[in-house]
Structure 1
Amino acid sequence: MTAAQADLPTDLQAKFQKMPEGLRLDSPVVADGAAIWRIARDSKVLDLNSSYSYLLWCRDFARTSVVARDADGEVAGFITGYIRPDRPGTLMVWQVAVDHPHRGKGLAAALLDGLTAQVSAAHPVDALETTISPDNTASEALFTSYARRHGASVARTVLFDAGLFPDDGHEPEVLYLIEPLPH
């Protein structure tokens, strides 16, 4: 449990997934950008951004992003996110990835719960958004189980049709709006 999770009322704490043994939640720092880029690349499912963008993300959006660190301080997984400028109560989750050796332990769910708790402790959040391509069943399961755990509904709409992407073969991005989130 994170410090932000510990500050939640007891009935809400029970809804949050705990970090797997040996891992801890932390905010990313610029030096984590390379590891986050590598994990995104190795995921084989995320759209890989430039290495430069991950460095900027760790600098500019560290308060709305999280990493999991192992006992040696190495990054085991991450979530990047930001508060939507035109909807300040909405946390937009950009990317979620867990390094191969740490998969299957509930780390992504724990990161998502930890991120929500961390951001909510500093800024009121009543909704979470993400986009998921139709073939990404793992992300769909992660976010729908998150919504169930937190008693929220999920509305799905196509945010970006496949034809908007300049690269061939990109699937549409479906917006998942999860709300209301408990305070």
Structure 2
Amino acid sequence: MQHPEQPQRLSVVVMGVSGTGKSSVAAGLAQLFGLPWIDADDLHVPEAVARMRAGLPLSDEDRWPWLDRVGASLADRTAAPRGVVVACSALRRAYRDRLRAASPELQFVFLDGSPALVRQRMEQRTGHYMPPALLDSQLKTLERPDASEPGVLHADIAVPVQQIVADIGARLVQRSKDASMKVSA
């Protein structure tokens, strides 16, 4: 598979509440660009997973060390010299800013959709520790990225995953070209 032209190093976080398809889109973007991908869920400590499995939302104190592990993965140029794609909720701006501090070139893809569609997806999936009962707490925590926040692309989850990946991939390539033109000008 020929990979589209990309920036020298591409770091992307696919973000949104649980059930929006972060893992599927992250895996698709990683394949498109020939990059590794990481599911930030795998970086939670067992105690945090147990809390969520029990239907208890995480506090910021629970999340900061996890976000630091995610940030370290994004910044690890030895493990991922060309870049990495990470699926991570990154619900608050402060969380995203913490990740940007670890990886300044970071791009975000915000997967957004109706709560009813997200709940339906959560109820249909199997084998995931995040119960649909935690969706409301995630929606309350979510600070939707707006135009004041740098490096965020938006995608509607009502669109098929393959189409989201193709669209976001093209937009990331275009951003890279635009940035290259600014540097050379």
TM-score with structure 2 length normalisation?
0.28
Structure showing greater relative contact order (alpha-carbon pairs closer than 8 Å, 6 or more residues apart)? 2
Of Structure 1 and Structure 2, which has the larger fraction of its residues in strand?
Answer: 1
Of Structure 1 and Structure 2, which has the larger fraction of its residues in helix?
Answer: 2
